[in-house]
Amino acid sequence: MHVSLLESDGGVYGVGMPLIAYFNRKITDSSAFTKAVKVTVNGKSAGGAWYFENTGRDGQALEAHYRPRTYWPAHASIKVDFPVKGLSAGPGLIYDDSLTLAVSTGAANVSSVDCSAEKMTVVSDGRTVRTLPTSCGKATTPTYTGTKVLMQKGENDPKTGKMRPDGEVRMTSNTPGNRYDEIVPWSVRVTNSGEYVHAASWNTGNIGSRSTSNGCTNLNVADAKWFYGFSAVGDVVTYAHTGGKPMPSWDGYGDWNLDWNTWVRGGAVHARSK
């Protein structure tokens, strides 16, 4: 069986970014993998743990996320050694490759959205940079509460294979009474299920005063453009007073919504006791 990685050498990510490994078959024993793989931050052990979960990635059967107990340090060097080739992944399963990874973190961009106050406070390396008015999800489509990690900025146009201009994303809904098909600029994804921080020129009358969106975080166009340029994949945004349910850990990079004791138990795959 084969292991591949989401991140690439030389990548720079926000301090909330999990390391993500993909497996083309479902492993049944994580013992050899978790024992062999070493993760260091600035040359010292990261002290984190792997959590295994189902995946929606094409061609893969399982994925594992690695995170420390708290966010990664800012402006840090992260190195990972995966010397797993030939090791067991459970009865009848052997890893066919070994890998290494070297990435780094940028600034500690850890922002917060208070949906009752309708504002986003953008913090970088402990300093408040800006406060932006918002409009969160309305009562029938509330925004998830909890800790979210920026997953993607903009998207590729399937017709050209190139990034759409101006951070555009096509957003659609077939829900009766709430159908739409729009190209929305300056969009940053924060959940797999479709929550974004994005520009909402049609909603300027409500931004800063009330929650009326379909679950996304609506910003004024100039603010959304600024946030899009400021942000990096892996940055953290926390949400409070949304009126919605907690973000599921599997809906994107929701890893920080699991407490540490749950995380270290390993999720869908456990190490077999010896």
Does residue 251 form part of some domain? no
- Residues 101, 136, single domain; the answer is no
Please name the residue that has the structure tokens 């793989």: 37
Q: What is the mean pLDDT of the chain?
A: 95
- Give me the pLDDT at residue 181, please: 85
The answer to whether residue 274 scores a pLDDT higher than 70 is no
- Residues 180, 201, single domain; the answer is yes
Percent over 70 (pLDDT), the chain: 98
- Residues 43, 98, single domain; the answer is yes
CATH classification of the domain holding 12: 2.60.40.3710
- Mean pLDDT lowest among 122-126, 178-182, 225-229, 269-273: 269-273
User: pLDDT for 232-256, tens place per residue?
Assistant: 999 999 999 999 999 999 999 999 9
Does residue 270 form part of some domain? no
User: pLDDT for 3-17, tens place per residue?
Assistant: 999 999 999 999 999
- Residues 126, 230, single domain; the answer is yes
- Residues 88, 29, single domain; the answer is yes
Does residue 101 form part of some domain? yes
- Residues 156, 81, single domain; the answer is no
Does residue 29 form part of some domain? yes
Determine which one of 65, 136, 198, 270 is catalytic.
Answer: 198
Percent over 90 (pLDDT), the chain: 94
- Give me the pLDDT at residue 123, please: 98
- Mean pLDDT lowest among 7-21, 161-175, 253-267: 161-175
- Residues 214, 116, single domain; the answer is yes
CATH classification of the domain holding 219: 2.40.440.10
The answer to whether residue 72 scores a pLDDT higher than 90 is yes
Q: Confidence band (pLDDT; 50, 70, 90) for 272? A: low
- Residues 38, 122, single domain; the answer is no
- Tell me the average pLDDT across 175-201: 91
- Residues 200, 142, single domain; the answer is yes
Residue range(s) defining the domain that contains residue 200: 110-243
Q: What does the chain look like in DSSP terms, one character per residue?
A: --EEESS-TT-EE-TTPPEEEEESS--S--HHHHHH-EEEETTEE---EEEEE---STT-SEEEEEE-SSPPPTT-EEEEEE--TT-EEETTEE----EEEEEEE---BEEEEETTTTEEEEEETTEEEEEEE-B-B-TTSPPPBEEEE--EES-B-TTTSSBPGGG-EEEEEEETTEEEEEEESS-EE--TTS-EEEE-GGGTTTTTT---BSSSEEE-HHHHHHHHHH--TT-EEEEES-SSPBPPTTTTT-GGGS-HHHHTT-BT--PPP-
Q: Confidence band (pLDDT; 50, 70, 90) for 271? A: low
From residue 200, alpha-carbon distances to 136, 166, 216 in Å are 11, 13, 10
- Residues 127, 32, single domain; the answer is no
- Its pTM stands at 0.94
What's the domain count of the chain? 2
User: pLDDT for 76-131, tens place per residue?
Assistant: 999 999 999 999 999 999 999 999 999 999 999 999 999 999 999 999 999 999 99
Is 198 an active-site residue? Answer: yes
- Tell me the average pLDDT across 195-204: 97
- Residues 18, 118, single domain; the answer is no
Q: How far, rounded to the nearest angstrom, does the alpha carbon of residue 3 sit from its chain's CA centroid? A: 20
- Residues 137, 197, single domain; the answer is yes
